[in-house]
Structure 1
Amino acid sequence: MPTVLKLIDYLDIYTYPYGKANTTVINGKYEFTCQHQYYECYGNKLHACAIHALRDVNRYVRYNACLMDRSQRLWGSDDDAVDQCGNKLGVDSNAIKICAKGNEGSALLNDYGVESKNLILKHVPHICINGVPVEMKEDLMQTLCDVFNNIPKAC
């Protein structure tokens, strides 16, 4: 999050909370299988719903980073984290939980799955710059700064 916020004015950011999940449709409903079981799938829905609800990249990057903060119980991205981050950042956590537990959250996650399947993911997180996959260095700031033609002062 700190790197993204330093470079936010120079980036057009899209996040896809899907990872290496798989989607199937059973009786007209989306079913998801995630690399790290049910909790990851639910967490992905929470992230998708937050992106949809907050719309502004500054807000949803901060919010979703809060959900994943290591200080959260079980690394977050659960209902407790949604409430804590909602209180901290002034976000309606109930709307996000309702979305994630319903059809809207499943539809949003499916949409992110469609986008993710267009990429060939060797690992997650997966970063593309100008549509080209980039190998992530240990330092995200350096990974991003290396591709600018006109290097921002933040670099």
Structure 2
Amino acid sequence: MITSIFFPIFFLLIIISKSTYCTVDSGSGVKNIQIKPSLQHDFPTVENQNSVPKITVSVYYGSLCSECVDLFVHQIGPNLVKFHKYVNFDFVPFGNAEKKSFDGRWYFKCKNGPDECSKNKWQACSIHILPSKLQLLANYLVCYMNSTDKILSGYQCTRKLGMYSGYYGKIKKCFINRELSDSLMIYHSNRTRTVLPTQSTVIPYIVFNGVYNEFEQDDAKNNLRNVICKYLHPKPTEIC
């Protein structure tokens, strides 16, 4: 029953051209659709609760990138509960993908194939639908990235986290709304291309408080907690 409901979502979206681009018909192109604000301001005001300023950790990634999956599963996931009062996770799901516009359509080509483009788009819609539920969003994306069957994980993770009735339908509606979901992909593409030095930059690309540091990124891939603690002053002794 689940498969019969969920599978059409992805196959309605993906049209593969001869150049292996994933294309979505957007009529005359992407219109001006309001994109919900950045997630950077969604945590409670930590300064008033703990006298510790928040930091923003921006993660530029692709849904089928193996190192990106490792980051979500082994670094972000285990640290969500510990640091949710101190860290704003800012997720940008585009990675090394490319975009082209031709004859009123946007074409997306992802490093790991059209399936990755679809999953990036599903996550972009999740981010759009949950802008004021940052901790829930982070847990949802960790669950999604940790799933070996991402065809069903969008559904299964909403069930697991108790958010199916409130959010699954909205995420799905966004996903199959080609005009909106394309706009979200363009938004994340523009953010990615502004920050990543080149199209072939290794991902995940991790930025702390808007400033990229190669050594911090390398450290974060293996010990995210350690890098976060460097930014917290005074350091919360219970976690640092």
TM category (shorter chain) comes to: 0.7 to 0.9
1:59 counterpart (136, 141, 148): 136
Deviation per CA, 1:102-144: give whole Å up to 9, x if none: 3211111110110111112532111111211132321111122
Length-normalised TM-score, structure 2: 0.58
Q: Secondary structure at the match of 2:212?
A: strand
Deviation per CA, 1:34-69: give whole Å up to 9, x if none: 111111111111111011112211111111111111
2:174 counterpart (81, 95, 99): 99
Q: Secondary structure at the match of 2:90?
A: coil
| CA displacement at 1:16 relative to structure 2 | 0.4
1:144 counterpart (219, 222, 228): 228
User: Which residue is equivalent to 2:99?
Assistant: 23
1:136 and 1:10 map into 2 onto residues whose CA distance is 21
User: Which residue is equivalent to 1:36?
Assistant: 112
1:5 and 1:47 map into 2 onto residues whose CA distance is 21
Aligned length: 150
Q: Is 2:92 aligned against 1:13? A: no
Structure 2 unaligned blocks of 5 or more: 1-76
Deviation per CA, 1:68-104: give whole Å up to 9, x if none: 114x32xx2x3x1111011112233233233223321
Length-normalised TM-score, structure 1: 0.86
What root-mean-square deviation, in Å, do the aligned CA atoms of Structure 1 and Structure 2 show?
1.7
Contact 1:46 1:100 in 2 (8 A): yes
Larger relative contact order (Cα-Cα within 8 Å, sequence gap ≥ 6): 2
Give 4+ residue runs of structure 1 displaced > 6 Å after superposition. none
2:159 counterpart (87, 104, 123): 87
Q: Which amino acid counterpart does residue 61 of structure 1 have in structure 2?
A: A
1:32 and 1:117 map into 2 onto residues whose CA distance is 14
1:4 and 1:127 map into 2 onto residues whose CA distance is 16
Q: Is 2:191 aligned against 1:112? A: no
2:236 and 2:185 map into 1 onto residues whose CA distance is 33
Q: Percent identity?
A: 25
User: Which residue is equivalent to 2:206?
Assistant: 127
Structure 1 unaligned blocks of 5 or more: none
Contact 1:23 1:33 in 2 (8 A): yes
| CA displacement at 1:11 relative to structure 2 | 1.7
In our comparison, the structure showing a higher alpha carbon Rg is 2
